Structure formats: structure tokens, C-alpha cells
């Protein structure tokens, strides 16, 4: 199943830790605050626990969506992605 | 089908126009740069055309995902949403 993680976090340290966790789980950055990738259910749950621990009591919001192949095939992408801060942004 | 729109747009005017279009189509804001809602397929396609016109040649990236009910039921939300700039943010 495809996992999509989007987040809205002001604190740089927390936000960078969230991005790092997503990368460690093999997700690819598709926007500044969005990661996407194929994860088995158990791994997705592990990632969710990790993200919950990282956010802790800090301000912010993280949302995790799951997409089956049929849903993912309907994805639409408009415009290009800008590379920022030497961070790799990939349109998978 | 549930439609999720996420965007990464630097220009304030373009970004606000994207948000306004999402609202006009009845989507609810779930993060600063993410809208979610139930749209019939024809309306979703109309929204995509509108967003494509709004972005035009401006820098930025908009991604539209479709989620069936089964996928949407697996959504996880971590943390709270902060209200900013008098804009309504709703966790639907």
C-alpha cells in the first residue's frame, strides 16, 4: 500500500526529525512537507508510532494516508517541484 | 470519492487563489497547505482544471490524490491543527 505523510510543523528541529524518519522508512519527498512511498502495513504502523513520539507535545500536525494502487493511479501532479535546502525532492 | 489536495506554492497570491478554489469546491482545510473533501469525479476533474489554470506558469507544485472509503478509514492524524491568519482549519 502507498503511504502518504503530510505535515505542518513550525519547529525546525521537530520538522527535520519527521523528514528524517520518513526517509529512513524509505519514503520519497514529493513536496517540502510531504513524503510518499510503498510500505507494508507493519512498517507503516511502526512509522506512525515513530512520528507520534517525535511530535510528542510539540505543536504541529501530521497526517498519514494510505492509498491502494487503484486510488494512486488517479493521482494528478500540477507544476514542478522546487529543490530547497539541498534536500532531495523526488516525484515518484 | 475523497479528494486530497496538497500544495507547495511560494507566491502568496497564487497560493491564496488555490486555497480559495478548494474552498469553493467544498473542500475543508486540514493543514495550512492541504484540503480534503468528498467530490464526485466530474467535480474533481473540474477542480483539477481550475488549479492547473491558477498555477499557470507560476512556480509551485500541486498534487491531487483520490481515496476510496476503505483507504480513507486508515487515515491517521497526529497532533493538533493550529489556526492561522483567520483561516478555518477543520479536521474532517
Mean predicted confidence (pLDDT) in B62-70: 97
CA dist A14 and B30 (Å) reads 20
Q: Show the domain range for A39.
A: 2-62
Q: Mutating which of A33, A78, A84 best tests the B interface, going by the most B Cβ atoms within 10 A? A: A78
**CB of A7 less than 8 A from some CB of B:** yes
> For residue B27, is it within any domain?
yes
> For residue A36, is it within any domain?
yes
> For residue A69, is it within any domain?
no
More confidently predicted of A92 and B62: B62
More confidently predicted of B86 and A41: A41
B3: left (phi over 0), alpha (psi -120 to 50) or beta: beta
- Which CA distances in Å does A83 have to A9, A74, A89, B13, B55? 19, 25, 6, 21, 18
CA dist A57 and A74 (Å) reads 36
Picking from A4, A55, A74, the nearest residue to B79 by CB comes out as A55
> For residue A31, is it within any domain?
yes
pLDDT digits (tens, 9 = 90+) for A32-66: 999 999 999 999 999 999 999 999 999 999 999 99
Number of domains in chain A: 1
Whether the CB-CB separation of A45 and A32 falls below 8 Å is answered with no
**CB of B60 less than 8 A from some CB of A:** yes
Beta-ladder partners of A63: A6, B77
pLDDT of A9 over the 50 cut = yes
Distance from the Cα of B12 to chain A's closest Cα (Å) equals 16
> For residue B80, is it within any domain?
no
The enclosing domain of B41 has a CATH number of 3.30.70.240
Query: Which residues lie closer than 8 Å to A91 by C-beta, 6 or more apart?
Result: A30, A77, A81
pTM: 0.90
pLDDT of residue A86: 47
> For residue B82, is it within any domain?
no
> For residue A78, is it within any domain?
no
Whether the CB-CB separation of B31 and A60 falls below 8 Å is answered with no
Amino acid at each position: 500500500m502507498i503511504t502518504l505523510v503530510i505535515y505542518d510543523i513550525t519547529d525546525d528541529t521537530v520538522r527535520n526529525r519527521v523528514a528524517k524518519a520518513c526517509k529512513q522508512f524509505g519514503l520519497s519527498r514529493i513536496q517540502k512537507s510531504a513524503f510518499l512511498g510503498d510500505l507494508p502495513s507493519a512498517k507503516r504502523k511502526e512509522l506512525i508510532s515513530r512520528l507520534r513520539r517525535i511530535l510528542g507535545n510539540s505543536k504541529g500536525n501530521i497526517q498519514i494516508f494510505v492509498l491502494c494502487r487503484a486510488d494512486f493511479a488517479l493521482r494528478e501532479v500540477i507544476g514542478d517541484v522546487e529543490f530547497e535546502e539541498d534536500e532531495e525532492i523526488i516525484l515518484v
